Amino acid sequence: MSTHDSKQTQRTVKLGSTGPEVFPLGLGCMGMSGMYGATDDAESIRTIQTAIDRGVTLIDTGDFYGMGHNEMLVGKAIAGRREKVQLSVKFGALRGPDGSWGGMDTRPAAVKNFVAYSLKRLGVDVIDIYRPARLDPNVPIEDTIGAIAELVKAGYVRHIGLSEVGVETIRRAHRVHPIVDLQIEYSLATRGPEAEIFPALAELGISATLYGVFSRGLLTGSKPKGQGDYRAYLPRFTGSNREKNEDVVGELQRFARERNMSPGQLAVSWVLARQPTLVPVVGAKTVAQLEDSLGALPRTLSKEDLAALDSIVNISGERYGAEQMKHLDSERHSHA
């Protein structure tokens, strides 16, 4: 690594007014546990360790990714490197042994149960940022955050985050205990949070970790591969949306080529340019994908570039199917 590169990696971003300093790009590990088709544990571990060696500090996982597989994988990868990383863990989603989904459970007793298992699988004694993966419609957010706040007091959790919730829920949670960041989908293709959510976060001194930066590979031209790839069911990858979106992706690829960037670097650079105080989380499954994303950090897009991209990118289709969209608290608009 050249000295130029190592200087580049020194910049950090603070997560909210009370959270840790993190490297400006996080690594999301969901794809390493089979959500997008076949994976290779050895390559996944290499990818996490390379990320740490390159300065990445925020590693994001969920206890339900591969029913615990992902946490055990992350645990192996960070053994001996624990002090170099901040672990962000989502919990609360219920799974069946056949991989089926069973809704959410964020009751206080469940929170304590989930964290006990996560600590064990990760091989750590404290989780840096702990967050419910979605809003549980049966449990007031105050109860869930109160339970995590007790874990903070007891030393099992350092900071509290949220995921995919709307403005009212964010405010209610933040009144119980400081929230350091909201995890939410944001990309060239998904700009919903700009309207109400980002302004509310800025007002409250809360950061955001932004996933889906490549819109599940849509923006980089990746296509669903076989049965195990759940993108085959997502509206943007199917039917007439798919054809329209392929045209947009072609334009994006041309735009990236003209600037000597890969489509992935363009997607990351766009997020960094639009939201310089927030942290994109890239779902790299291989060292090559990780290196590609890191290559976005020294590159900056001009105001003209951003304006040009606004005119090119008009993605068809919602980010999830209608049933899932209905249950997303972050998609409910406040009437404040």
Q: Which residues are catalytic?
A: 65
Q: How far apart are CA 200 and CA 193, in angstroms?
A: 10
* Residue 195 to residue 332: CA distance in whole angstroms: 12
Half-sphere CA count of 270, side-chain side, radius 13 A: 30
SS (H, E, C) the chain: CCHHHHHHCCCCEECCCCCCEECCCEEECHHHHCCECCCCHHHHHHHHHHHHHCCCCEEEEECCHHHHHHHHHHHHHHCCCHHHCEEEEEECEEECCCCCEEEECCCHHHHHHHHHHHHHHHCCCCEEEEEECCCCCCCCHHHHHHHHHHHHHHCCEEEEEEECCCHHHHHHHHHHCCEEEEEEECECCECHHHCCHHHHHHHHCCEEEEECCCCCCHHHCCCCCCCCEHHHHCHHHCHHHHHHHHHHHHHHHHHHHHCCCCHHHHHHHHHHHHCCCCEEEECCCCHHHHHHHHCCCCCCCCHHHHHHHHHHCCCCCCCCCHHHHHHCHHHCCCCC
Integer CA distances (angstroms), 18 to 24, 170, 320, in order:
17, 15, 32
| β-pair type (86-91, 127-132) | parallel
Q: In angstroms, rounded to a whole number, what is the distance separating the alpha carbons of residues 58 and 178?
A: 19
Q: d(Cα 285, Cα 6) in Å, to the nearest integer?
A: 23
